[in-house]
Amino acid sequence: MRALRILLILVVILGGLFVIADRVAVHFAEGEAADKLKSTQNLASTPDVNIKGFPFLTQVAGGSLDDVEVGIKDYEAATGTAGKTIRIDDLKADMKGVSFSGNYSSATADSATGSATISYSELMKTAKSQPTEVAPGITARIVGLSDGGNGKIKVMIEGTIAALGIKHTVPVLSSVTVENDKVQVHADSLPRLGAAAIADSRIREITDFQQAVDQLPGGIKLDKVQAAANGVEITVKGSDVKLAG
C-alpha cells in the first residue's frame, strides 16, 4: 500500500509538472506566433493569438494544431484604389487544422471563419458626399449612414434645389450584400428630390455604392454582411489560409 501511495503521488506530481510545462510552452508559442503574424501581415499592432486544445505539446509533436484563434484590433484592408485603405475593426478568425514547418517559418490553416466590423464612418468615405447634379439645378449627396433596423442601412440623402436655395434631407433604407469581394449598398426604394423628373439611374448614382475589401490576412475573403448598430458586420472565410511564410 505504501509503495502504491508513493507511485500515485509521483504520478500526480509528474502530471502537474507536465501541465505546467504544457501551459508555459503554449504561452511562449502564442507570443512567437503573434510576432510572426505582425511582421508577415504588416500589422500596425501585435495581434492576439490563442492556441486552443490540450495538450499543446502532443499537437506540436504531430506538426499540426487543432484550433487557433487570431484577433486583430484594427486592420487596414485594400480597396482596389491605390493609396486608399479601409479600416476593419475587431477582426477575429478561427483557424482549424494549422500545420507548420519544422522551424516554424511557415504555417497554413486548412480552413478559417471569422467576423469583423466596418464602421459607418469608414463606409461613408466611399459614399458620394460631394454634391452631384442629378437634374438641371438639383444636386444630391449622402450626408450620413446609420443603422436602419432589420438588417438595413439608413442612408441620409440631401437634395438641393439651387434656384430656390432649398435643401431637403430624406432617409432611404438600403440593403447591404457582398458580391465579388465588395460590400454593396442598394436602396430599396428611391427618394423624391423635388418636383422635376429625375431618371432612376441618376438617383442611384447617389444612393447605391460599393466598397471593395481586399487583401485580408492570409487570403481570407468576405462571405456575408449585415447592418448593425455600430456599422456593418461582416463574416469571412477561407481555405488553405497562409498565416506565415
Kindly state the cell numbers that stand for 11.
504520478
Query: Of residues 154 and 14, which shows the higher confidence score?
Result: 154
Q: Does 22 have pLDDT greater than 70? A: no
Which residue type sits at 85? T
Q: Does 245 have pLDDT greater than 80? A: no
Of 82-86, 149-153, 196-200, highest mean pLDDT: 149-153
8 Å CB contact between 192 and 67 = no
pLDDT, averaged across the chain = 84
Q: What is the β-pairing status of strands 85-100 and 132-135? A: unpaired
Q: Helix, strand or coil for residue 186?
A: strand
The helix (run of H) or strand (run of E) holding residue 3 is helix 2-40
Q: Does 14 have pLDDT greater than 50? A: no
Q: Does 234 have pLDDT greater than 50? A: yes
Burial 19-50 (b: 16+ CB within 10 A, else e): eeebeeebeebbeebbebbeebbebeeebebe
Is this model's pTM higher than 0.95 or not?
no
**For residue 46, what is the DSSP state?**
P
